[in-house]
Amino acid sequence: MQAPQTISDEAFPEWPWNEVPQALLNALETSLRQELHDGAVYLLIDPFLGDVEPPIDGHPRHAVPGEGTQVPAARWPYVIELEDAQDPLLARSIEWAAHEHLRACINGSGAYRIGGWLQPHAGNGGSALSRQLGALLIADASSRTRYLRLADRRVLALLNPFQPPVETCGIDWAQQLTGIARWIYLDSNFKLRVLQGREGPVAHKSLRLDVAHRRLVAEAEVVNRSLMAWQGFRHPLPDDALAQVSAVLQRARSRGLHEPVDLAAYVVEALRFPAFEQFPELQGCIDRAHQTQQLLADRLRALRCHWS
């Protein structure tokens, strides 16, 4: 489900932006507050690539259990409790989320620390919510060391795309998130997405994933690098962006590419320029990049006149 928006994309400056438009931040703040009910709001933080700066003080912090994993405590997610939807930290966190995504689009990668805004159903407080999140972050109940980085909202978005790839079945989020009234996060198009769980006691269970979902999570780095690099040139991304990226990735691998940065360079070139994959010397170009240990993106940039 997508939260209601209060402003159209046409009202924003031409893409790419140097800064996140204030009109967008205002619209997101209004939309998020409309989506939340009375009571505490819980801000999920993912410090895997470094914590938020400056540190968040003056708000209760709930530790998310992570026993049995190999992730250092300093890099493990935690939850900050906001008094309600009027808490000034809510607006600040929206701004952080939007800015970190814009930086990633410009640079092709980056840290995403704002995992989203959550509210449990009545009777389930911050401690219960944190324990439930701790269970969801374990990828496989039979292997307690597998970390499923749902606190990185890009991973959450891969598992909840607008149009799933044909080989995956949708996750029953209502069942899986029983006890969580809403989990709201900012997607790649700077829009709010909402996951809703059924009422009831919190469920301390791992997220149930099929083989296709596991494969998608395993490829999260290269898929997200590709999406961010593509969005550097196209905004908004189409609803079937994940399916398009996945299809091109298969062709890129068939040409012998393995490194995420090179795979992403191939994907974004193919999606930007339809003639790219028909370039007669493409395989030779890739092979020479391997032989010289040159980044594929640099070699493609030098030859782009042949297909652009």
pLDDT, tens digit, for every residue of 46-91? Answer: 999 999 998 999 999 999 998 778 889 999 999 999 999 999 999 9
The closest of 93, 119, 116 to 37, measured between CA atoms, is 119
Q: How much is the average pLDDT of 202-209?
A: 84
118/180 same-domain check: yes
116 domain residue, yes or no: yes
Whether 10 shows a pLDDT value over 70: the answer reads no
224 domain residue, yes or no: no
Q: Letter for the amino acid at 153?
A: R
Reported residue count of the chain is 308
9: helix, strand or coil:
helix
265 domain residue, yes or no: yes
279 domain residue, yes or no: yes
- State the pLDDT confidence band at 8, using cuts at 50, 70 and 90: low
The closest of 97, 98, 91 to 33, measured between CA atoms, is 91
Using alpha carbons, list the distances in angstroms from residue 209 to 15, 22, 180, 287, 302. 36, 38, 19, 36, 42
Instruction: Name which of 8-12, 201-205, 285-289 the model is least confident about.
Output: 8-12
The pLDDT assigned to 6 comes to 47
Whether 18 shows a pLDDT value over 90: the answer reads yes
49/173 same-domain check: yes
Of 168, 192, 209, the last residue of a domain is 209
249 domain residue, yes or no: yes
94/33 same-domain check: yes
- State the pLDDT confidence band at 305, using cuts at 50, 70 and 90: very high
215 domain residue, yes or no: no
127/261 same-domain check: no
How far apart are alpha carbons 46 and 114 in whole angstroms? 6
For the chain, what is the mean pLDDT?
A: 91
154/287 same-domain check: no
140 domain residue, yes or no: yes
- State the pLDDT confidence band at 120, using cuts at 50, 70 and 90: very high
User: Total structural domains in the chain?
Assistant: 2
User: pTM for this one?
Assistant: 0.92
99/197 same-domain check: yes
203/266 same-domain check: no
146/198 same-domain check: yes
201/250 same-domain check: no
205/250 same-domain check: no
Of 172, 192, 209, the last residue of a domain is 209
For the chain, the straight-line distance linking the first and the last C-alpha, in angstroms and rounded, comes to 37
Residue 296 pairs in a beta bridge with: none
- What is the domain extent for residue 188? 22-209
The pLDDT assigned to 4 comes to 44
pLDDT, tens digit, for every residue of 268-291? Answer: 999 999 999 999 999 999 999 999
69 domain residue, yes or no: yes
The pLDDT assigned to 145 comes to 54
The pLDDT assigned to 144 comes to 47
pLDDT, tens digit, for every residue of 168-188? Answer: 678 999 999 999 999 999 999
Using alpha carbons, list the distances in angstroms from residue 103 to 13, 21, 253, 295. 16, 14, 27, 21
